[in-house]
Structure 1
Amino acid sequence: MPSLLRFTGILALLGLVGCAKLPADPAASPKIRITLVGDSTQTEKQGYGTGFCANLVNVDCVNRAKGGASTKTYRRDGLWATAQFPKPDWMLLQFGHNDVQSASHGDRETDLATEYPANLRRYIEEARVAGIKPVLVTPIARRYFQADGKIVDDLPGHVSAMKKVAAEMNVPLIDLHEISQRYFEQLGEIEAHKLGPTKAGPNGTTVPDKTHFNQQGSYVLGRMVVEAMGRTVPELSPYIRPLAAKP
């Protein structure tokens, strides 16, 4: 299983660390609240939520992510109203995996050309009206490796649509999709799958869960998101632990 030291080394090679200047004493900054809003890849049990919160200092880190949520169901199921209380200073919004139109998603799916970006815009507008600062996070890459060691990008349209909304509405954007895909490819298929759990496969086999994360994966990816947040929103860098948290 890759260590956090190896994780930092790989990010350094990719140019993804060392950009956010951290103060000597993060705890000296005024306390703030950051809320995670999204799907299972942000949650505490299956996503990077635990590792994300563990890498923050002097932050009330609230996880409102929900497995299976899309931009449509998150509002429909009353989760959006809940996510605004207690009121966060900042909100990281990450949707896409369950907005994809497919037979398995049923009423979760949204139209990529119209509904998905419209839903994102509405979340942003309502957050701002409530005095919350939104940050968009592109959906994390799945670990769908090809024979050549490259990952099949199954969400290019959603990533592109989110980037367009971010640009139009002047919202900070963390391109977690690109960052995570580059990281997984650098790790390689075997090591990348160690960041996630396993699940039942056909005929009684056990196969890697290529979407979700175990505890080690939560801390590795959580640190990745925190570092990216510090680069994207420099005013949040004082709240990042200088050294990566460990499980």
Structure 2
Amino acid sequence: MNYQHKPLHVKIPVPNGTYEVTLTVTAHEDITLTILSQSRRFMVQDTKMSKNEKKDFVFNVSVCDYHKKDEEFTSVDSIELDILCDGRLTAVAAVSPVNIPTIYIAGDSTVTDQPAAYPYYPSNTYCGWGQMFPRLLNTGITVENHAQSGSNTMDFMNVNFNAFKDKIKEGDFIIVEFGHNDQKVEELDAFGGYSKNLRYFVDFARSKGATPIVASPINRIIFNNDGTLLNLLGDYRNAVKAVCEEMNVPFLDLWTRTTEFFEAAGPVKAWDYFWSNGKERDYTHTNDIGGDIVSRFAADEIIKNNIEPIASLIKKDMIKVTMPEHDTLAADENSKELEHLKSIGLVNVPILEIDRDITKDLP
């Protein structure tokens, strides 16, 4: 839902580590609230409370330093919570350190923690699926999302990975998803440098006693004239599958899941799941609605792969995805949209130009 006001911000100074947070909320009127932690990771989403109701929200938060591409190493020394609400409430937080497994996420802008503006509108807020994922988990495991916009496998290995690779311990997990930026670099072709780097992540995780998990990149919504998606990342999906089979690694096939979903939506309705401000649209990066869908696909793929204990800790009642009905617009309207996309170069776009990101002048 939309939230018109800036969130209530709670900052609790703590050292790096993993914590169980109990946020006790008392509603002073009927409200709907969302609870975010750290860099806008979703812990609770759009939960309703009645007037005078008191409720404990319990979740795990990882406080961790990070190292972003082209930036200095950044230290983090607190739990930070943002409470979005459409009414009046009182909140009290209690924290305690816990020793539980960590899911580390390595990836690019389609996975990273994206910021938001306020008033908050889900449709025009960028969202990586990694920031939606924590709300699907019960306590007993935590998520550190180190994914970074613009990263490819090589960038991440040389920069971002340094912030947490020495922290990885036995029983932890690393989910790796790249491809969108690798395909722009000649030496990171799908079955060459890209696959080589995926093997590095797998070997490193196993050397620490952790479990590697590799996901294929989500698809972009650039359509062919027949209503199918242009196959821009298929080779990278196939490379991930090949590496996973070769090294006996769990494979989360997000490319196939997103391709099926967005083709079902069609070339007009698919935009509902990607960033837009009403005048400009983005065909690579999901909004909060799309990030929600992809996070559910990731959770379902984990269950299908029987990756424990994550699979047992997923909130099964929250991961069902209903396939969208195809565009309700008349066939000629769909045709006009497709022709417009073609006219501005969104069909058969050269790979090196594919991430212009914002497509202007759409109707």
TM-score, length-scaled by structure 1: 0.77
Look up the SS of the partner of 2:217 in the other structure. coil
Residue 194 (1) aligns with residue 272 (2): yes
- Corresponding letter in the other structure for 1:191: K
| Higher mean C-alpha deviation, range 167-176 or range 41-50 | 41-50
Aligned residues: 207
CA shift at 1:190, angstroms?
2.4
Q: How does 1:47-196 map to 2 (within 5 A)?
A: 47-58=128-139, 59-76=141-158, 78-84=159-165, 86-87=167-168, 89-101=172-184, 110-196=188-274
Deviation at 1:50, TM superposition (A): 2.0
- Structure 2: distance between partners of 1:73 and 1:234: 28
Is the partner of 2:104 in helix, strand or coil?
strand
Residue 306 of structure 2 is matched in structure 1 by: 233
Match of 1:32 among 93, 101, 119: 101
Q: Deviations over 1:51-96 (max 9, x none)?
A: 21211112211101011111111112x2112233542611110111
Q: Partner of 2:315: helix, strand, or coil?
A: coil
Offset at 1:243?
A: 2.2
Please state if 1:244 is matched with 2:322. Answer: no
User: Larger relative contact order (C-alpha < 8 A, sep ≥ 6)?
Assistant: 1
Of Structure 1 and Structure 2, which has the larger fraction of its residues in helix? 1
Ranges in structure 2 where 5+ consecutive residues have no aligned partner: 2-58, 60-98, 115-126, 320-363
Shift of 1:234: 4.2
Partner of 1:34: helix, strand, or coil? Answer: strand
Which 5+ residue runs of structure 1 have no aligned equivalent? 2-26, 200-204
Match of 2:347 in 1: none
Q: Cα gap change, 1:234/1:133 in structure 2, threshold over 3 Å: closer, same or farther?
A: closer
* Alpha-carbon distance in structure 1 between the residues aligned to 2:289 and 2:100: 27
CA distance in 2, matches of 1:227, 1:221: 10
Tell me the CA shift for residue 220 of structure 1.
1.7
Is the 2:137–2:314 Cα contact (8 Å) retained in structure 1?
A: yes
> CA shift at 1:35, angstroms?
1.4
Q: SS where residue 144 of structure 2 aligns?
A: strand
Alignment-mate amino acid for residue 129 of structure 1: S
C-alpha separation in 1, matches of 2:205 and 2:252: 17
Quick check: which one's strand share is greater?
A: 2
Whole-angstrom CA distance in 1 between matches of 2:229 and 2:189: 24
Name the amino acid aligned to 1:70: N
Looking at structure 1, the residues matched to 214 and 270 of structure 2 have their Cα atoms a distance apart, in angstroms, of 25
Higher radius of gyration, 1 or 2: 2
Report if aligned partners of 2:271, 2:283 keep a CA contact under 8 Å in 1.
yes
CA contact (8 A) 2:178 2:216 kept: yes
Q: C-alpha distance in 2, partners of 1:206/1:237? A: 40
The answer on whether the counterparts of 2:254 and 2:294 sit within 8 Å (CA) in structure 1 is no
What TM-score do you get using the length of structure 2 for normalisation? 0.53
Q: Deviations over 1:98-157 (max 9, x none)?
A: 1113xxx69xx6233421111111111011101110001001111112232211110122
For 2:108 and 2:306, locate their aligned partners in 1 and report how far apart those are by CA, in whole Å. Answer: 22
Kindly indicate whether the alpha-carbon contact (under 8 Å) linking 1:53 and 1:222 is maintained by their aligned counterparts in 2. no
Q: Secondary structure at the match of 1:212?
A: strand
Kept after mapping to 1: 8 A contact 2:177/2:216: yes
Q: Distance in 1 between matches of 2:160 and 2:223?
A: 33
Task: Give the fraction of aligned pairs with identical amino acids, expressed as a percent.
Answer: 29
